[in-house]
Amino acid sequence: GENVEQHPSTLSVQEGDSAVIKCTYSDSASNYFPWYKQELGKRPQLIIDIRSNVGEKKDQRIAVTLNKTAKHFSLHITETQPEDSAVYFCAASGGGATNKLIFGTGTLLAVQP
């Protein structure tokens, strides 16, 4: 079935460093790849997304890249800040008749001040 793998499961960086989270999806029909940030007990918050007709997208300190051939997509956060600490989920959708999201298993990012 549809599956999204996410690595690493935990990531600790120093403030100001960059962080990279990688995901791989199984359904080649997927065409939409959002990233969500979730703080403990809070809702998943959409931070950036990319569609299959684009290879890269950037929004200030956050960027996402997509390699459709390899079915890989990645989140890049530069100049990390303590408030970036949270769980980050990648997701894939669009592989079927609906837009349901298949999530990765999450990455706990800790930014050390």
Partner 1 sequence: AAGVIQSPRHLIKEKRETATLKCYPIPRHDTVYWYQQGPGQDPQFLISFYEKMQSDKGSIPDRFSAQQFSDYHSELNMSSLELGDSALYFCASSLGPTGTYEQYFGPGTRLTVT
Q: How far is CA 25 from CA 40, 46, 107, in A?
A: 25, 19, 16
Q: Which residue has the tokens 């079927």?
A: 96
Is residue 40 within the footprint of partner 1 (CB under 8 A)? no
CA pair distance 113, 111, nearest whole angstrom? 6
How many binding residues for partner 1 (CB under 8 A)? 26
Report in angstroms how near the CB of residue 79 gets to partner 1 at its nearest: 25
Closest CB to partner 1 among 44 and 80?
44
CA pair distance 61, 77, nearest whole angstrom? 6
Report in angstroms how near the CB of residue 16 gets to partner 1 at its nearest: 29
Q: In this structure, what token pair is assigned to residue 107?
A: 């990455």
Q: Using CB under 8 A, pick the residue from 42, 55, 79, 112 that binds partner 1.
A: 42
Which residues make up the interface to partner 1 (CB under 8 A)?
A: 31-32, 34, 36, 41-46, 49, 51, 89, 93-94, 96-106
